[in-house]
Structure formats: structure tokens, C-alpha cells
A and B are shown apart, each in its own frame.
Chain A
């Protein structure tokens, strides 16, 4: 909570210029056709800072939609196999919500379980996360129920607290954050004790402990079918989620060679678990919805020690049929 520096509103452009000059790619929330999307941001003015959440998550920085995990080349009847080069471009994720920043912890727990995931780790190592504390929330938000909060420092290298008169107080949380400050050291001034804008009030309306306690005994109840009756199985929830890491592996090749690709996938899809024989362990959409919830709120906490959710509400905002995760978790918590 304490501030290390103060950053004037007018210093943001200089900071952006310094980051760019140092070879950093800057990615963050920016307005796009009336929505907020995560994309490359060239100046502070391009940054969406009106408190709206981006539609999709910033996880693409460390876990792209599609990435090469292998390449191969045919040489007659022989075959050469190569590891793709590790990504080397340093990236600053600037202006993320603190919930998004926390998402990288859950992603890392999944992708590094048992064996390190060099592709994810290389990208994350090159990524510096600068979050801005939320001063606005909406009805989909429930970060406070899953261990986070509108000004939670988890996952951030720098955390910016908006000040009432403009500008930010800056919390330096990691060495990476310190290195970023050093790029424009003269812009980071000692804090003057200016009043911070009050963090957003996020009313979750349920206790996560109630959810995790009740899930194991509610598995066979009709609630999963009821909640998902209108689910289209489109997978939008997984694609916008900061912590969804399920993936597919596919080849793209011609006669001379090809690449093996890791692509985002979703447990909402029927084919996700479909056996070659035609048998499907999760044939019904209700079973797939149940898997989504149990994976995030029961299996991950038990096996990986982390929740698979940061309460950002992106899934609820993106859902074309208005399924609302907060509402569904509240219903689960209220049950017997």
C-alpha cells in the first residue's frame, strides 16, 4: 500500500518514450470500436484508462492464441526437428487491472505443473506488468471473493494508484518494476502524500470458501444442467479468461516441412474430450459447464494450490447468452 514514487500525469508520455527507446513493446488496454481491447499502445494517450475492462485478457503476452512449439523439415526420407527460437522482445503490459495481473500466477501454476513450460516462461520473463488500481467496477466484478482486490499487488511489477488530482503513486513490487523505473528515473518523484482516488468497491455477494466447501458434494445435482441450459458451448468464456490455459496441439505442414502449434482450446467444446471411438466422457453441455467450474474452483485449488479465477468478470461480459459467473457462484454458495 505504501508508495515508493509519484508519477505525474504529464510524465506518462516521457515514460512511454523511454520504454520504447529501450526496445520495450508496450501492450495494454486501448479503445477499439467502442470496446476496450488489449493491443500495442504507442503513447499514453492511446491507453484506455476509463475504468472499463478489456474484453479479452492480456494473457496473450505470455500465452499466445497460437504459438510454434516445434518445426520440422523433410530431407528426403530423413527429417530434421528443431525447437523454435524463444521470444526475445521485452514487453511492458501497461495499465492492466490488478485482477489481470494476478492471472499470470494461475497460468504459471498450470503450465509449469511438473515440467517447466519454456515458451510460457520465456515470454513471462520478458514481460513487465504495470497495473493500475481500479477506481471503478461493474456488476460482473468479484475480485474480492477470490483473494484479490481493486488495488491488489499480486502479479504486478509496478502498481499505480490513481491520485485525485491526476497522476499516480507508484508501488515498486519487483526487480523488474525497479528496472522499468530506472528507464525514466527522473520522472519518478518522491511521493507527496497526495490523496489517492478511492479504490473501487467490489461487492462479491458470496464467500469463495462456501463454494469450495460445497462443490465436492454438489457434483450430481441438477444445478449444472440448469445453469447451463442456455450455454451455446461457444468457448468465449475461456478465450477471454486470464487464467484459462487449456490447449490443443495441431500440425501445419506441406511436403517440405511444417510446424507444430499450440492453440487455445476450451472445455466447453464437445470435441475437447471426444474419444476416437465416438465415446465422450462429457457428452452434455451441463457436464462441460460443471467441469469448467470444478476445474477452476475445486481441482486447481486441490492439485495446484491456486484458484483458477481472478474474479475479473470477463467471461460474464463476453458471454453471448448472459451467463454470469458471479451469479452462478453465488447460487452454488447458497445451496446446501
Chain B
């Protein structure tokens, strides 16, 4: 289980010197990309170059993005730490904050607090094969770790990505998907749900768990990272188990509702775990120790 038990102690620094943990960095939107209906990606640069230089994160971590006046929303950092000078986020327009963010344009300022949470332990994956399985809008958290691993490609054996969405139109990162599809040092399978294909669709047609089953990737010395809607995860896990993947070799991320990102506001608490501190990355065996409140 991630996260050791911590005893609360008296604050070590005088109150006046304590930082405002809710104060966001000011970020300028350097690039905005429409990925799919209602789904946008922002490339964000620090307004204060000093803050940018001091900032670092690890793959899998997330942050709170704010549209000033509307509030904050939680998304992963969708870019890899191997690409420096900016961070990227991808979000779907769903509520008040994401709608306000979607209305922003290149040059506008938004807020970012983070990085928060744990990380994909890619240092422990050296020498292993990597299988990434993603569905729909859950590719962004995997995009960070996929690019991180591709940027350090020599450290890993085979890299395989299975990605599915309901329709062709709903696939995100279309340009990167074609880039990955052309690479010789990785395998990419893109699928859409039956009925979601277009006449000229050249990828797979079928649900992600079935595509994984048909692909039958070897489990030996392989790490599987699965991220997607609950139903996709639920149906993919038994497939992976059937292929021989151990529970400690399967990773996923939880996306519980959050407000603070710091273990204080209470809402991401699931069993003894706080998704914002102990997660968002969990192995299947860690997940099975938690009540199914995610």
C-alpha cells in the first residue's frame, strides 16, 4: 500500500512564513488543440520564468487547474516530464470550470496548483515490456507515461498501446496516434466500438477488452497500465489475469473527485487511502485492499 502512516506534528515553520498551499501558479496558454468533440488540450507555460525553472513533476502526477472566476478542476498532467518548459492538460467540457476553461484561448491566463500525488514507478520498469491499455478520455494520464517511456525508449523492451473510444471522432491525440502507429519501436492498436467506425476507418472495431484478448500480449516480464471508464477496466482486468499478469504488475489510476489535492478536503478518501496523496496510481493488488468506492 502506498503512503506510510503519518502522525500529525506541530507545524515546523512560523505561521507567517507558511506558504499559501492554495495559491496557484499563473500559466499562459501557449497552444490549444481541439482533440475531439468537447475535448481540448492546452499547453501551459509559466508566466513567472523563475517558478517554471523551479517546477518539476513525475509522470502520473496531477494538478488543480483553475479558470479564475469559475473555480478549479482536477486533471492529470498529460505531458511527460521529459518535455520541459511546459505542461499540458487535456479535459472534456463537462461542468462550470471545464466550460470556462474551454472558452479560454491562446494567450489567456489560467491557474495551476501541483504537482500532487504519486507517480508511475517507471524506474522499476527498466528492462520490462510495457502494455498500455486506455479507453476514451483516459488516454491523457497514459499519454504522459507513454511519452516518458518512449523518450527513454532504450530502457524498456516491447512497448504496446491499445487505445479505444466509442467512435472515431472521440479518439483523442489523433496526430500522435498516427505518429505512434508509424513508429517501428512500438506497437499501436486503435479500436472503436462497433458502430463507431467511419467508412474509411482502418483500425480495429471492437471493445478494448476483446482487442486485448485477441492480441494476447505475453505477461512475462511485462507491466500493464490500464486506464479507462470503470466498465472497461472491470472487463479488461480478468483478461489480463487470464494472460498471466500478476496483480502487482497491473497499474491503473483513480480519478476520484478532488478539491484540495493535499489530503485535507476529504472527498477522495477511499478506505484508508487518500487518492490525492497515496494515488492516483495504484497496482491492482493495492486497489483490491480498498473498498470499491472509486
Contacts and interface: CB of A to CB of B under 8 A. Distances in A.
Interface of A: 69-70, 72, 74, 77-79, 81, 83, 86, 108-119, 121-122, 125, 219, 245-251, 253-254, 258, 260, 262, 265, 267, 272-277, 279, 281-282, 287, 291, 294-295, 298-299, 302-306
Interface stretch (B125-133, B144-152, B210-218, B268-276): B268-276
Contacts of A72: 68
Contacts of B66: 251, 260
B7 interface: yes
B58 interface: no
A219 B72 CA distance: 33
A116 B17 CA distance: 10
A260, A274, A276 — most chain B CB neighbours (10 Å): A276
Given A72-B68, A115-B21, A273 B257 contact: yes
Interface stretch (B79-87, B104-112, B164-172, B191-199): B104-112
A257 to B, nearest CB: 8
Contacts, number: 156
Interface in B216-269: 229-230, 255-257, 259-260, 262-267, 269
Contacts of B23: 70, 81, 83
Nearest to A302: B272
Contacts of A122: 15-16
A125 to B, nearest CB: 5
Contacts of B264: 110-111, 113, 117, 245, 247
B109 A77 contact: yes
21 contacts: A70-B22, A112-B11, A113-B8, A114-B263, A118-B19, A247-B266, A249-B265, A251-B71, A253-B69, A260-B66, A260-B71, A265-B265, A265-B266, A267-B267, A272-B267, A276-B257, A277-B94, A281-B292, A287-B293, A291-B269, A304-B7
A267 B265 CA distance: 10
B107 A77 contact: yes
Interface residues of B, number: 55
B293 A299 contact: no
Given A114-B277, A305-B7, A247 B260 contact: yes
A246 B263 contact: no
B70 A251 contact: yes
Contacts of A219: 291
Given A121-B15, A276-B95, A246 B266 contact: yes
A272 B26 CA distance: 27
A115 to B, nearest CB: 5
Contacts of B267: 246, 265, 267, 272-273
B13 interface: yes
Contacts of A83: 20, 23
Contacts of A267: 266-267
Nearest to A249: B259
B55 interface: no
B26 A81 contact: yes
A109 B263 CA distance: 11
B16 A295 contact: no
A72 B68 CA distance: 8
A294 to B, nearest CB: 8
B24 interface: yes
A297 to B, nearest CB: 12
B94 A276 contact: yes
A258 B269 contact: no
A258 B7 contact: no
Contacts of A69: 20, 22
B294 interface: yes
Nearest to A248: B259
A279 B230 contact: yes
A113 B272 contact: no
Contact of B270 (A119, A125, A281): A281
B15 A249 contact: no
A69 B92 CA distance: 27
B111 A251 contact: no
